[in-house]
Amino acid sequence: MENSIPDKKRSSKIKNGADSAQSPATQAHPGKRSAPVNGPNNGGATIGVADVDKLVADALARIAAAGTPEQLEKTRLNLIGRKGVLPLALRAIKDRSAEDKRRLGPALNQARTTVEAAVRQRALNLSRSVFESLVDDEAIDVTEPLPRTALGHIHPTEHVRREVEDIFRSMGFEVVRGQEIDDEENNFDLLNIPASHPARDLWDTFWLKKPEAFKESSVAAAKNRLLLRTHTSNMQVRVMRDRTPPLRIVNIGRVYRYESTDKTHETTFNQIEGFIVDESTTLGDLRGTLHTLFETIFGQKLVTRLRPSYFPFTEPSVELDMSCTFCKGKGCAVCKNTGWLEIGGAGMIHPNVLKNGGLNPNKFQGFAFGMGLERITMFKYGIDDIRWLLSADLRFLEQF
């Protein structure tokens, strides 16, 4: 029976003897155990105070050898992670004597602090290295000229339109816009164009069908047909009724004519229409205004002239010509050897139009003019066919 009862003292001695056999450190200090280090690189061997410096040196070497952030993170976990060498060593000394704790604790804490600092510094160095490699590999020279990107530009007709509007604004004119779909009354009747005038014919005007749901307010309104405006003068009476003289108005916009196309005619083009209404305007003011316009647009001294003509909405009516900008008035193919270029029609506003605008023709008078914007554009840039301006042909447009 006595042999079957374990002898605690003898068991303790056997255990202590086993410890002595395992570690030279316990042979030098009987009854004292070194902190076990259960890291992946020591297989559970024990450590003493003298081994801490060696452990730190080995840790610093491994940290320095980490060549990428991923390798550094793996090394950090092995050294100071929750199951790393140093944390396990620190936890292992809790059961040791006070003397052992006093000697090993500060040394291991200092070792951990040193290793943590080394990991932070190495991480910083690696991040700098990554950044520097990116700078070298992906650097961009901001001073290097980039390949030229193809950009669009303003159409020549639009460029001239803006220039014309700016010139008229500088002379005190107000720029207005009008609807392109209008009625027969504003496009013809109020401008003193009678029903028998050739412009009313089907071959000159694009007439529109009214929608079936279109409700007329009166019989007269039902007879007032819709159309695509044939000129920008459709705003003339509207402005007179809406504003009080003196008036200086210019209106540039798209108009439509139902006619054959050739080098000088199109079914769709832009027209410049302007007028002045006050108590003293004359044909001399008309000529001076348009002379200033043309010399400014073409950038050269020109000669202008007025020729008698007829328009139902002006009285007297004139045609406006200017000296040829190509041959300087000497005669060429463009001006048909006349030395003159026909620009547009003009005249003093007819009294009936003034009445339709709600103005007293005995008190107010004024002039009106109209001309093609594309025609001026062709003369300005030497374009020989109006159809180029609506062609959308890049071979043509890229020249401007």
Residue 205 is assigned to a structural domain of this protein: yes
The one-letter code for the residue type at 276 is I
Residue 10 is assigned to a structural domain of this protein: no
pLDDT (tens digit per residue) in 66-118:
888 888 889 888 888 888 888 888 887 777 777 777 778 888 888 888 988 99
> Is 340 found in the same domain as 238?
yes
> Is 368 found in the same domain as 222?
yes
> Is 382 found in the same domain as 250?
yes
Statement: residue 174 has pLDDT above 70:
yes
In this structure, is the dihedral angle defined by the CA atoms of residues 22, 27, 30 and 36, taken in order, positive or negative?
Answer: negative
Residue 148 is assigned to a structural domain of this protein: no
> Is 34 found in the same domain as 82?
yes
Do 240 and 354 meet the contact criterion of CB atoms below 8 Å apart? yes
Residue 144 is assigned to a structural domain of this protein: no
> Is 211 found in the same domain as 86?
no
Instruction: Please tell me whether residue 304 adopts helix, strand or coil conformation.
Output: strand
Tally of domains within the chain: 2
Residue 146 is assigned to a structural domain of this protein: no
Residue 49: band (very low, low, confident or very high) from pLDDT cuts 50, 70, 90: low
Residue 132: band (very low, low, confident or very high) from pLDDT cuts 50, 70, 90: confident
By residue range, what is the domain housing residue 205? 156-397
- Sorted by sequence, the CB contacts under 8 Å of residue 141 that are 6+ apart come out as none
pLDDT of residue 310: 92
Residue 236 is assigned to a structural domain of this protein: yes
CA dist., res. 296 & res. 314, Å (int): 26
Is the peptide bond preceding residue 40 cis, with omega within 30 degrees of 0?
no
Do 112 and 63 meet the contact criterion of CB atoms below 8 Å apart? no
In this structure, is the dihedral angle defined by the CA atoms of residues 214, 220, 223 and 226, taken in order, positive or negative?
Answer: negative
> Is 393 found in the same domain as 313?
yes
Statement: residue 5 has pLDDT above 60:
no
> Is 247 found in the same domain as 210?
yes
| CATH code for the domain in which residue 360 is found | 3.30.930.10
Is the peptide bond preceding residue 246 cis, with omega within 30 degrees of 0?
yes
> Is 299 found in the same domain as 365?
yes
Q: How big is the CA angle at 171 (ends 169 and 177), to the nearest 5 degrees?
A: 35
Q: Which two tokens stand for residue 25?
A: 């450190």
Residue 209 is assigned to a structural domain of this protein: yes
> Is 190 found in the same domain as 46?
no
What counts of helices (H) and strands (E) characterise the chain? 14, 12
Statement: residue 258 has pLDDT above 50:
yes
Strand order in the sheet with 340-349: 174-176, 247-256, 268-278, 365-372, 340-349, 314-323, 304-311
Burial class (CB in 10 A: 0-12, 13-18, 19+), 301: exposed
Confidence (pTM): 0.62
Query: In whole numbers, what is the pLDDT of the chain averaged over residues?
Result: 82
> Is 246 found in the same domain as 301?
yes
**Bigger pLDDT: 21 vs 332:** 332
> Is 355 found in the same domain as 253?
yes
Which of the residue ranges 49-58, 231-240, 379-388 would you say has the lowest mean pLDDT? 49-58
> Is 337 found in the same domain as 188?
yes
pLDDT of residue 221: 62
Residue 164 is assigned to a structural domain of this protein: yes
Statement: residue 213 has pLDDT above 70:
no
pLDDT of residue 203: 60
CA distances from 311 to 102, 161, 169, 197, 307 (A): 118, 25, 27, 11, 13
